[in-house]
Amino acid sequence: MKQFLSLILLCCTLGIAQNPTYNQFDSYLETLDESNKFMGSVAISQNNGLLHKKSVGDSYRSESNNQKINSQSKFRIGSITKTFTATMIFQLIEEGKISLGTYLSEFFPQIPNASKITIDHLLTHSSGLFNLTNANQFGDWVYKPTTKKEMISRMLLFDVDFQPGEKNEYSNTNYLLLGYIIEALDGRTYGQSLEKRIVKKLKLTNTLYGSKINNKNNECVSFVFSGNDWEQAGETHMSLPGGAGAIISTAEELTIFMDGLFNHELINESSLKAMTTYNELGYCKGIFRIVFQEQEIYVHDGGIDGFQSLLAYFPQNKASIALTSNALNYDKRGIVMNAFKATMGLTFDIPKFTEITLTETEVKQYEGVYESETLPYDLIFKADGIILTGAPEGDNLKALLAISKDEFTFDKIGVHLKFDLTANTLIFTHGDNPSVLFTKKL
């Protein structure tokens, strides 16, 4: 999320173009699919109307059958679920059943600091509760059925990270609890509340609480890239993520949800204002707010198993864009960036995914530590046989792709590196950010 907040479209202040370049965008997505970079769907809407949608890749693969993704294919959307959860909480506030100042102790007094943690703290990730998905045991939990009682008992295993309201720190635990609170106040399951409070109101047909994936119901399985091809990912048991990440939907229906939210079809103007109230870090309640060139953008992204998703709303243009993916080996922010460029009638380069093989001796030439005058971190590169690895200092080294002499990429986050071995420099480019010159420390 933080990376997405720091890298947004340079064209955001423009209005929607009269001549969008959707043919080029479609070719771009097809190229990503053919190059094992992306499978999924993208949808763009404005003024409550769909402008464009495009799907590429397979929703399911077997030895005898590859099933293609279409516009109605359903994806797990991960943490975009949190925006749905926050919306339902505000509906409950409007009904007088709860308030932003209600304490967690009214529902779960056994949780650490429950008498100090409010609904507001949970919504803004400022409760200080430990993020359960960071637990060492999480890998043992994720594929097995669980209960609310078991999840609460797991929360009790960990001390708080900080006191309520001290700071904002993203924690799935907050939205697990908010999902349970919705169930307690509604007297029904989270999925039933979702159906009544959002799905029926917006007349959605492909948005629901997830269960075991059924490809015969046009539900996508997810994949991870093995280095040569896509391999099917593990499948989180959907009793675990709850209000933090258990919804499945389509790209198109996500834009309908976002349009409905900002057009007061789900909550009133006062609630939306409270939901989108932000602090200096851009934390709202169930969504994040950024400003780029004087334009507001509200965003949330998600990831679960091999699924990735991103949902954004542009109030000035009343436009939404949604990306849902079941296989991603590329920078989803870059895909969103080009979707907006296409919508605004701007052209962009379609990448060419070439790869060359270097010798161990050639790779060792790029080893070293590089510094810049403008960025507060060094870049570190080490040879691993015929592969160059690299990362900012303090991060784990990642395998880089050699695309030509002295050029490397790391497509997952849109990084391009151009070395000059004679000058002992490199040019570092991240997405559409300005390029930065780094010099090797000798």
- Which runs of consecutive H residues, i.e. helices, occur in 279-409? 332-343, 360-364
pLDDT of the residue at 377:
92
What number does CATH give the domain 1-353? Answer: 3.40.710.10
Q: Token digits for 146?
A: 């669980």
H or E element in which residue 111 lies: none
Given this structure, which CATH class describes domain 360-440? mainly beta
Residue 441 burial (CB count, 10 A):
10
- Taking a C-beta distance cutoff of 8 angstroms, is the pair 306, 222 a contact? yes
pLDDT of the residue at 295:
67
Closest CA to 291 of 3, 1, 2, 6: 6
Query: Hunting for tokens 């296989």 — which residue is that?
Result: 327
Ranges of the chain with pLDDT below 50: 1-17
pTM listed for this prediction: 0.86
pLDDT of the residue at 281:
93
Domain boundaries, the chain: 1-353, 360-440
3-state helix, strand, coil in the chain (%, to 5): 30, 25, 45
pLDDT of the residue at 11:
42
Please write the tens of the pLDDT for every residue from 325-383. Answer: 999 999 898 898 889 888 888 888 888 888 889 999 999 999 999 999 988 999 999 99
Query: Hunting for tokens 């700071």 — which residue is that?
Result: 167
pLDDT of the residue at 404:
85
